[in-house]
């Protein structure tokens, strides 16, 4: 079965999901979006209000910041597939409950399994935990590391952290981490070409 069919089946499984109480406050389930044949997958925390209304991840304020960081790192958004550790809107300032993340985790891993990215960048602590099941601080994961199935992972900060804390230095760190991802991407693509 081809990727798009597998993804559509996965979407169908979650479009009316009632596994956690976030189903009560969402407008819709915001499934991953982007290039399904990408090498780079980005995982955020959960849709914000704009994403909840539009049904696409990272199209609100955090999305604008992410777009400018990607531009700085010379990564095209259309090269990436973007999803979240939770598919449903979480009210601002509310920390995701462990049960919500657990309910959405097999979907996240199924999505990764279908997309088969070479590099995953997680944005923020919740995405890091959902992917790696560690409670480590983000800085420990900023260096590219191989995780399961030989996939590279870089854990960086969430763009919204710059909005909430007013610390714009965070944006430089995120850009630095995406530049590492870009370099890795170029190296992996170079190796692939060498093998052809």
Return residues touching ligand URA (CB under 6 A).
Answer: 44-48, 51, 57-58, 60, 62-63, 84, 160
Shortest reach from residue 192's CB to ligand URA, in Å? 30
CB of 10 or CB of 56, closer to ligand URA: 56
On the 0-12 / 13-18 / 19+ scale of CB atoms within 10 A, 126 is: buried
Beta strands in 73-134 (DSSP E): 80-84, 119-123
Shortest reach from residue 164's CB to ligand URA, in Å? 11
CB of 46 or CB of 103, closer to ligand URA: 46
Shortest reach from residue 46's CB to ligand URA, in Å? 5
Task: Scan for tokens 């049904």, then name that residue.
Answer: 55
CB of 62 or CB of 114, closer to ligand URA: 62
What's the first-to-final CA gap in the chain, in angstroms?
Answer: 25
Q: Are 44 and 123 within 8 A, CB to CB?
A: yes
Task: Take residue 118 and report the two structure tokens written for it.
Answer: 């070479």
CB of 63 or CB of 117, closer to ligand URA: 63
Task: Scan for tokens 């955020």, then name that residue.
Answer: 44
Shortest reach from residue 86's CB to ligand URA, in Å? 8
Beta strands in 68-142 (DSSP E): 80-84, 119-123
Helix (H, G, I), strand (E, B) or coil at 152: strand
CB of 65 or CB of 119, closer to ligand URA: 65
Shortest reach from residue 1's CB to ligand URA, in Å? 27
CB of 167 or CB of 189, closer to ligand URA: 167
Shortest reach from residue 6's CB to ligand URA, in Å? 22
Beta strands in the chain (DSSP E): 33-34, 40-44, 80-84, 119-123, 145-146, 152-156
User: Helices 3-14 and 98-115: crossing angle, nearest 10°?
Assistant: 160
Which residue lies nearest ligand URA, judged by its C-beta? 44
């Amino acid at each position: 079965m081809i990727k798009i069919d597998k993804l559509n089946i996965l979407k169908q499984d979650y479009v009316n999901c009632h596994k956690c109480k976030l189903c009560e406050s969402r407008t819709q389930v915001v499934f991953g979006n982007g290039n399904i044949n990408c090498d780079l997958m980005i995982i955020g925390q959960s849709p914000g209000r704009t994403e909840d209304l539009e049904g696409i991840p990272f199209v609100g304020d955090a999305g604008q910041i992410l777009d400018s960081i990607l531009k700085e790192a010379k990564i095209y958004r259309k090269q990436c597939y973007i999803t979240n550790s939770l598919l449903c809107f979480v009210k601002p300032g509310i920390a995701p409950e462990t049960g919500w993340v657990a309910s959405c985790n097999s979907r996240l891993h199924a999505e990764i399994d279908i997309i088969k990215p070479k590099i995953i960048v997680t944005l923020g602590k919740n995405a890091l935990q959902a992917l790696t099941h560690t409670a480590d601080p983000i800085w420990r994961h900023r260096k590219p590391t191989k995780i399961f199935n030989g996939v590279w992972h870089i854990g960086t900060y969430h763009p919204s952290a710059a909005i909430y804390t007013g610390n714009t230095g965070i944006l430089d760190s995120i850009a630095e981490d995406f530049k590492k991802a870009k370099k890795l991407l170029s190296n992996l693509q170079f190796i692939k070409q060498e093998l052809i």
